[in-house]
Each structure stands twice: as structure tokens, then as C-alpha cells.
Amino acid sequence: MRRLSGGRFTLTGTRTILTTGVGWLLIPRRNGTLLRVSVCRWMVLGRWLRLPLDGAGTLAAETDDELWRVWQINEGDADSSAGFVDANVSSRVFVLVWGDSPVEVTWESPREMIVAYEPGSRRKRTAALKMWREDDNTEYATLYLPDEVWKFHRKTSVLDIHMPGVDLLKWRPRELALEPNPQPNPMGEVPVVELQNRPRLDGTCRSEIDGVAATQDAINLLWAYLFTTADFASFPQRVVMGQSPPKVPVLNSDGEVIGEKVVPLEKFMQDRIVWLTGQNASIGEWKAAALNQFTDIVEVQVGHLAAQTRTPQHYLVGKMANLSAEALVAAESGLVQKVREQQLFYGPRIREVFRLIALAKNDPAKAEAVAAGQVVWKDAESRSEQQMADKIIKLRQAGFPFKWLIEEYGVSPTEVGRIMEMKKAELEEASRADIAAMMGDPTGVPDDE
């Protein structure tokens, strides 16, 4: 049986979290607003902010300008950032490479994409399916095979959308004026790459918030209890004892007393005064509820969650008191290691994306070189400008090449080329000045002929 991997199509038994937030439990209040404690959100963002891509290399370890140009044209920086967030939350994300002039690279949601693999393999793709629905209640599907691509559509009703057992005979080929259906796949491979978060050898993967969702729910529950208690018991409560409710006489049209009625308590609240007539009347008081019993537990739970996910606690709590630079580095070491692990798993899949780009450009030699190349990531560790400058100076003194140093500094591949041209012009200018000085012209400006 083929192993299928996708979002709502998952057939491997894995749990995929597909929520409208990032692990938030939404609790309605009386006024219609929502309470949420987005701890899991910062768990995901803490990793996402350290996962920008910086280039793709070939066997020669040189960043390929043409592949990077295709990446930039397709807004790969922004789309990959959104894709990494989806992978952290939903456990997987997909990248589709198609076309040759121009090559289109799109990041696809696990809600709409599925990939089939050969039995016993986690890498050899046999088919991919993208399925989505438009506002006119029409569902569309595109089936990607190694040799051809099929496109279908069907009309649906509200009752049978995404329901199992829907009549498959409703699907019809989707005829397009300028494209045959099916159309050949010139790449000869399934042009969809799956990026899995925390993959395992059995082909399953896990969301970053899957294991801590229960803790997040408990935090939200305690937070809701805190606000409920704040509404009713956050101030001292007073009670009148030994006194019946105040009453006033009820008069008829002739001014005669015909009865009594209780004075509404709202009147005393507005007037801020009450008159007690009972001989044994007294006023008692209940102390205000201690709300810190909720916040203390929430803080402990947040600490447990930070330890489980290797998220620096100051990301979640927001308390920083007299922390040295070394203490901050130590606090973020777990997060840095976690990001490097994700770079390790995402790297081969990103490399496969660039290989498909080369195939789409009809360059099999480059595709083969990229397959054994490397993906260049930005440094997962956060350093100050002073620390980075000190590091670069010491590495330069140790003999590291200038180009490697500017790459290590975190400059984009486009800027690397620009800086190298500027450095080359600077050296040439310095050489001309040295030659002119040797020839007796300290200005370095040649005489007019």
C-alpha cells in the first residue's frame, strides 16, 4: 500500500493540528470578545525568526546565481518563511516547482496538498495531488505524475464538501483553452517536495505544538478562571447583617399607605449611601480573592512548556533582570540547537527544490550538481554587531578568505557579489596608486597624453 502524506488527507494515522491560530484555545467572554494566551505562538515564532534561507550551493560550494534568481523572482524569502511556520504548526508543508519560462515555485498548504511515495521509501515520489475549492462551490484538483499532469473539477454542495464517500463520478476533466489535458510532464519527476517537521523513520512527522497542546489548554483554562474571579471577587465584598432589605411605603392617589416595596439596590449603589434602622444591624466584609494563586501556577506551567520545547523562558514570560551576555547565550542555547536540527532536516528538502528548478530550466548537469550541494542558512545564533565584528576580525587574522568572511557575516548572495566587485575595484585603485607613487606621481592620476 502506498504511503500518503498530507494535511487533511493524512492516512498514516498521525495527528495534524490545523487550527485558525497557533495552538490557541479561544474562550468567549460575556461581551463577545475572546481571551487567549498565545504561548505556543511564540514557540513557533522563536524558531521561524531564525530560519531564513541564504542561498543554494553546488558541488563547488558556490552559491548558484541563476537558481537564486529564480528563488527571488518567486518571492522565496517571504513564502519560505510562511511555509516554515506552517511546517512547525501543521507538521508538514509542500513546495511545487512547475514551468520553464518562467519557473514557478509555490509553497502549498498541507490542507490542499498530498504526496504518495513508493512502498518502503520516504523519498521516491510516485504522485502528488493538489485539491482546493473556490467560492462558487467548485472543487478543483491537479494530479501530478512523473510523466503527465491531469486536471479535474467538480461541482459540490455544502453537505458533501470534503466528506468521505462522495461520488467520485462527479469529477470531470478540466478543459483549458491553451493547455492539453492531460499535459506531458517534461521534468520526468513528480514536481512536489514535502518538508516534514521532526520526521521519523516510519514516515510520520510531528507538529511543534502537538506535544504541548494540553499544557497550553491548561494555561488558557487557568487564565479564564483568573478573569472570572477578577469579575466577581477581586475587590472586598460587603454584606449587611441583622437588617431586612430597606422598604418604602406605597401610597395611593389619596396619599394613603396601601403597602410597601423593597428599595432597589441599584439606587444605593448610585447614591453611595445606605440607612440602616435595625437595632442589630452590622456590616461584614469578605476579603478580596488572591489572584496570584492563578498567575503563580500559570508561570510554573509556562516554565514547564519552555523546558519541553527548548524555548527561552524570557521569550514567554518577558522578565529580564540583570542578565549578562553569557547568561542570554546560555538561555538561548536550546533554541539555537533546535533551529539547527530543523535546518538539518529541511536542508535536503530545500536542496531538492533547487534541483527541480534546475530540471525545469532543462539543465540536468546543474541538477546533478545541486543534488550533492549544500543549502546556505543564516546563522541560527543571535549575536550583537560588536560580537560579530570581533569574530570576523579574529577569523581574518587567522587567515580565512575575505569572501568566506562576508558570507559568515550574514550578507545575502546578491550582496556578496556586489561587495566582491567593490573590493576588487578598491584593490585595483590601491594598486594604481602604488604604481603611480613608485613612478613619482603621488596622486595616482595619469598625465594627459
The position carrying cell 597624453 is 449
Q: HSE of 328 in the Cβ direction (CA atoms, 13 Å)?
A: 12
Burial of 161: CB neighbours in 10 Å, binned 0-12, 13-18, 19+:
exposed
Element (H or E) spanning 306, and its range? helix 292-309
- Please provide the DSSP assignment of 166-213 as one string: --GGG-EE--BTTB-SSEE-TTSS--EEEEESS--TTS----TTTTTH
For residue 150, list its beta bridge partners: 143
194 within 8 A of 94, measured Cβ to Cβ: yes
pLDDT at residue 269, as a whole number: 75
What is the structure's pLDDT at 5? Answer: 44
In this structure, are residues 263 and 198 in contact, taking their beta carbons and an 8 Å threshold? Answer: no
Q: Got the DSSP string for 423-434?
A: HHHHHHHHHHHH
Domain coordinates in residue numbering, the chain = 3-208, 236-287, 383-449
The CA-based dihedral angle spanning residues 385, 387, 391, 393, taken in that order and rounded to the nearest 10 degrees: 60
**Residue 153 buriedness (CB in 10 A; 0-12 / 13-18 / 19+):** middle
Contacts for 404 with CB less than 8 Å, ≥ 6 apart: none
Over its length of 449 residues, how does the chain's per-residue pLDDT go in tens digits? 334 444 333 222 222 222 223 333 333 333 433 444 455 554 555 554 555 565 554 444 456 778 888 888 998 888 888 888 888 888 899 999 998 778 999 999 999 999 999 998 888 999 999 998 888 878 899 999 999 999 998 887 655 555 545 566 678 888 887 788 889 999 999 999 999 988 888 888 888 888 788 888 888 888 888 888 888 788 887 788 887 777 888 988 888 888 888 888 777 777 777 777 777 888 888 888 888 888 888 888 888 888 888 887 777 776 665 667 777 777 777 888 888 888 888 888 998 999 999 999 888 888 888 888 878 777 777 777 777 888 889 988 998 988 888 887 877 777 787 888 888 888 888 877 777 777 765 555 555 54
Phi, psi of 104 (to 5 degrees): -105, 130
Closest CA to 355 of 199, 182, 123: 123
Half-sphere exposure at residue 7, Cβ-oriented, CA atoms within 13 angstroms: 22
Q: What is the pLDDT of residue 58?
A: 44
Residues 6 or more apart in contact with residue 157 via CB below 8 angstroms = 137
Intra-chain end-to-end CA distance of the chain, in Å:
82
What count of residues does the chain have?
A: 449
Confidence (pLDDT) at 97 = 95
CA angle 380, 374, 376 (to 5 degrees): 35
Task: Give the pLDDT of residue 445.
Answer: 53
Q: How buried is residue 165: exposed, middle or buried, by Cβ count under 10 Å (0-12/13-18/19+)?
A: exposed
Instruction: Name the CA radius of gyration of the chain, rounded.
Output: 33
Backbone conformation region of residue 395, classed left if phi is above 0, alpha if psi is from -120 to 50, else beta: alpha
Residue 132 is placed in which grid cell?
482546493
**Cα–Cα dist 113/130, whole Å:** 5
Sign of the Cα torsion 39, 43, 44, 49 reads: positive
Q: Strand, helix or coil at 86?
A: helix
Give the SS3 label for residue 106. Answer: strand
Phi, psi of 377 (to 5 degrees): -110, 155
**String of DSSP letters for 219-233:** HHHHHHHHHHHHHHH
The enclosing H or E element of 93 equals strand 92-98
Could you give the CA distance from residue 307 to residue 55 in angstroms, rounded to a whole number? 32
Beta bridge partner(s), residue 241: 282
